[in-house]
Amino acid sequence: MSRIETLRRQMAEQGLDAFLVTSEPNVRYLSGYKGKDAALLVTGSEALLITDFRYVEQAAREAPGVEVVDRKKDGLVEHAGAQAAKRWTKRLGIEPAHLTLFAYKRLAAAFAGELVETDSLVERLRMIKSPEEIDDIRRAISIAERSFRELRRELVHCATENEAAGLLDYILRKHGAAGASFETIVAAGPHSSQPHAQPAGLPLRGSSLLLFDWGAAVEGYHSDSTRCLLSPRIDDELKSVYNIVSDAQEQAFMKIEPGVKASDVDAAARNWIARTGYGDCFGHGAGHGVGMEVHELPTINARNEEPLKKGMVFTVEPAIYLAGRGGIRIEDIVLVSENGFEKLTSLPRAADFFLEEWL
């Protein structure tokens, strides 16, 4: 309920009589409800978790601090709008990023007052992680790293990217994850030059570079890591690129502490890469928040000039992509501490090597 009280203070600052939460992670963050098909209506004195018959029992168990409302045969947003209207709401805050145009029109038809679009109201609260949230993220990282070490031993039995990705997903669940945080990326050789390459039937054997991007989902929280495995046969330029990316990440680490702008962390990695002549080969931000979503606030890019704060958790993932040849990305998760940062991930960054007899 303390999170809801914090939200109410934000609502008061924006002159909102009520706030309708439709983002699934935001509903969970505020209420504790872990299911789907729900909305949370927060007023100055009430919090209504609106769902349907399938989830009423679960919601009552997981969200004891709010009133669970069965919407019966009504549509979700229509029922929420009607509930807001019953409470004499004049200005209802909404999450436009989490409402389809169709849902928005249905809500507007059910609620005669003013719908006020807000910008990441709950997401900004989620940027600062509680000790309990940090513990869940640590567990997700621990499972992800333990799983990757096991995959590394079993990789000899995988013939294709798809097989390796499927095996890693299985191992994640075996070790206690609810599943993978996102579609696991395994990219061999030139395929790794695509930042979000989708695993296919490309063979692993004969590749001089394998890129893995994976994460574990645990209790609604996530991890996100990237590692590259290099063969002794990798060409000299890609080997040099690996070292440049590793050094760029170290430059970014050196900037991280409370008060430093997120854009300065991005610049530290980006400028290092640019000085080596590969600036045009690093086209995405240097990192992103991780928590209830794999990509959340804060964004670590050139546009975000907000200062870092203690309790923020985000990735640092510089990269260089050489089209048609291969890409190198190294990704770790950090926690901003009182005077600096703690690196939560622990897998070695040094380039690993395949067994010659397997290649």
The pLDDT of residue 173: 98
Query: What's the pLDDT at 138?
Result: 98
pTM score, two decimals?
0.95
The answer to whether the CB of 333 falls within 8 A of the CB of 347 is no
Burial level of 131, CB count in 10 A (0-12/13-18/19+)?
exposed
Confidence of residue 352 (pLDDT cuts 50, 70, 90): low
Q: Has residue 304 got a pLDDT over 60?
A: yes
Confidence at 232, pLDDT banded by 50, 70, 90: confident
Query: So where are the chain's domains?
Result: 2-126, 131-353
Q: Average pLDDT, stretch 220-240?
A: 94
**What pLDDT is stored for residue 354 in this prediction?**
59
Confidence grade of residue 85 (pLDDT, cut at 50, 70, 90): very high
Listed in sequence order, the residues at least 6 apart from 277 whose beta carbon sits closer than 8 Å to its beta carbon are: none
pLDDT at 355 over 70: no
Fold of the CATH domain 131-353? Creatine Amidinohydrolase (3.90.230)
The Cα–Cα gap between 178 and 15 comes to 39
What one-letter code names the amino acid at 97?
A
For the cut 80, the answer to whether the pLDDT of residue 350 exceeds it is: no
Burial 153-192 (b: 16+ CB within 10 A, else e): eebeebebbbbbbebbbebbeebebbebbbebbbbbbbbb
Query: Beta 216-218 vs 179-180: how paired, if at all?
Result: antiparallel
Q: Which residue has the higher pLDDT, 178 or 349?
A: 178
Q: What is the mean pLDDT of residues 6-22?
A: 97
Query: Architecture of 2-126 per CATH?
Result: 3-Layer(aba) Sandwich (3.40)
Q: Where are the beta strands (DSSP E) in the chain?
A: 18-21, 39-43, 47-51, 67-70, 91-94, 114-117, 179-180, 185-188, 209-214, 216-218, 221-222, 225-230, 287-289, 296-300, 313-316, 319-322, 326-329, 332-336, 341-343, 352-353
Residue 113 has pLDDT above 70, yes or no: yes
